[in-house]
Chains A and B, each alone.
Chain A
């Protein structure tokens, strides 16, 4: 395979982007005076800025390149990851959960666990979350180096150290403030790089009426092929989609993963914080069509013997993740190549920066300040945040080399999230809904849920059980087993949390005001026009969501 050729114009675009992110780090340093400035961007962002950053943190390369690959392999069915697998959870976060997080001036999701339960529940969640972010950052870095080496012929080591160095520089200097600034820039560059791909692909395939006309129905529908697992190429039935993906996986990620939620915490008031995920939901739907549409263009081209288009093969198997870089090579002239390559690098850096800014916040507030130095000054906290960033980046580089020596580690990424996030969402949701859930109930529910989820994963890997043993119905794909495992982890964590709470000491109601539904302080809410209310914008997303599911049924 030949590699993408970069002209001087393309290099100039990449340099403009890299120059911008370095400048941002230095420019914003003077605005980073307090720990809230560094870790929460001063809580002064508008709803739109927080919403775009919220979305951008989700536009890492593993998401964009990976889901385009799913589109190339499974067709329109992959759009479920952007609809049932995202929208209900995003709206639930914005409408229901955000006030509990935001109104108490909580600085992280482990911070909520401290306020609602106790210190040990917080520290357990903080440690597991920190491990997850560092490992995710390492795998993201590995994937970046792999893409740059495969498609541009760049040196492996140089790619890893340079990109990690750029991210380290601007996060160390200005924390979340610079992360959000660069994420918004990355948001525009990523759209600038990938929006054209499905458009050009559809033109190349003969226009909107003809582009996907030759694809079999299993590649062009969402629900009519989900009656049973045998009816669709992803081997998922509708209960796996609704309960496994729509609840077990999706709620864990969108309502608990601090990497994403941290962006909404940076908003200037509770209304803006609630609007941030709702604004992101519009972009999420649009992104789904661009990403899955690009994958489907690749699928249609592969099935056309005259197109000359073929995906790469890795270890004798089709590498579906190669679809976006290969489409860029097929359609992008000089100039646009620079935008495309920059958007790929921006995606990786957005993922890396998101992980690092979440890691340094959780480490500093929920481990360092909570366990090691309870009386740390603001200056000391910022220093620790910077030190944590350096250590986190170095650990992620080690993780990247580890992933290089063991490429299957990437397959574990989703699994790691389900071990940690599904039990966390169980105890956070119970904590917000039920006032008698005790600290011991939450701690043991989260710990045992994580252990059981991990044990189920290992039993599957070692061949002790089949995916069908985890999924109802008896026959299932590995992906269905992933979805169901997250749901089981959630149910087991909830069951243990409830069971243990029946016999252990609860926290007094007076300490839970504002943290649990029904114990909130009634506030005088100023009348605002309908169009400024989060529920209004969430309703529009719901209508669009329903219409799209019906249209592509």
Chain B
């Protein structure tokens, strides 16, 4: 059995991609319900947290992906 380690991208790169996708979906939900008004039975709905938090996740994901796109670990 070969025990030679295979290089791969760091975990942060993959985490970055998931955060980008999740951030985009959360933002999309926030923008969608901005234009398609339905009654949301929640507090602080005027803060549109889906948009802001989606943006935070998206930026975090972009940073992780960009910083790690050329790195490899063994």
Contacts and interface: CB of A to CB of B under 8 A. Distances in A.
Interface of A: 7, 9-10, 12-13, 16-17, 20, 24, 30-31, 33-34, 42, 44, 46, 49, 180-181, 184-185, 188-189, 192, 196, 200, 203-204, 329-336, 338-339, 378-379
Contact of B74 (A44, A330, A335): A44
B26 A335 contact: yes
Nearest to B22: A13
Interface string B27-51: 1111011000000101111011110
B18 A20 contact: yes
Contact of A16 (B6, B11, B21): B21
28 contacts: A9-B25, A16-B21, A16-B25, A17-B22, A20-B18, A33-B1, A33-B2, A181-B11, A188-B15, A188-B19, A192-B19, A192-B53, A200-B43, A203-B44, A330-B43, A331-B42, A332-B49, A333-B50, A334-B29, A334-B32, A335-B25, A335-B26, A335-B27, A335-B28, A335-B30, A336-B29, A338-B29, A379-B1
| Minimum-distance CB pairs A-B, first 10 | A335-B29, A9-B29, A335-B50, A335-B26, A334-B29, A333-B50, A12-B25, A336-B50, A184-B11, A34-B3
B30 to A, nearest CB: 6
A22 to B, nearest CB: 13
A334 B33 CA distance: 8
A343 to B, nearest CB: 11
A26 to B, nearest CB: 13
A9 B32 contact: yes
Contact of A44 (B5, B27, B48): B5
A196 B51 CA distance: 13
Contacts of B8: 31
A20 B73 CA distance: 20
Given A33-B3, A339-B53, A16 B22 contact: yes
B44 A13 contact: no
Given A333-B30, A335-B29, A185 B6 contact: no
Given A13-B25, A331-B43, A378-B1, 8 more contacts: A24-B14, A34-B3, A49-B11, A185-B14, A188-B18, A333-B33, A333-B50, A334-B29
B57 interface: yes
Interface of B: 1-3, 5-6, 8, 11, 14-15, 18-19, 21-22, 25-30, 32-33, 40, 42-45, 47-50, 53-54, 57, 60, 73-74
Contacts of B6: 30-31
Contacts of B1: 33-34, 378-379
A42 B4 CA distance: 11
Contacts of A329: 42
B2 A339 contact: no
B45 A333 contact: yes
A195 to B, nearest CB: 9
Contacts of B45: 333
A385 B43 CA distance: 48
Contacts of B22: 13, 16-17, 189, 192, 339
A16 B25 CA distance: 10
A338 B26 contact: yes
A349 to B, nearest CB: 15
Nearest to B7: A31
Contacts of B73: 44, 46
Given A188-B19, A330-B42, A335-B54, A200 B25 contact: no
A33 B28 CA distance: 41
**Considering residues A9, A46, A200, A378, which has the most beta carbons from chain B within 10 angstroms of its beta carbon?**
A9
Contacts of A379: 1
Nearest to A12: B25
Contacts of A200: 43-44, 47, 49
Given A9-B32, A185-B18, A335-B26, A196 B53 contact: yes
A37 to B, nearest CB: 8
A429 B25 CA distance: 49
Contacts of B28: 9, 335
Contacts of A42: 5
Contacts of B32: 9, 334
B25 A331 contact: no
Contacts of B14: 20, 24, 181, 185
A324 to B, nearest CB: 15
A74 B4 CA distance: 53
A193 to B, nearest CB: 10
B58 to A, nearest CB: 11
Contacts of A13: 22, 25-26
A149 to B, nearest CB: 21
Nearest to B38: A334
Contacts of A46: 73
A181 B3 CA distance: 20
Given A34-B1, A192-B57, A333-B33, A204 B43 contact: yes
Contact of B40 (A9, A189, A196, A333): A333
Contacts of B27: 335
Contacts of A336: 26, 29, 49-50, 53
A379 B8 CA distance: 23
A254 to B, nearest CB: 24
**Considering residues B29, B42, B47, B49, which has the most beta carbons from chain A within 10 angstroms of its beta carbon?**
B29
Contacts of A188: 15, 18-19, 60
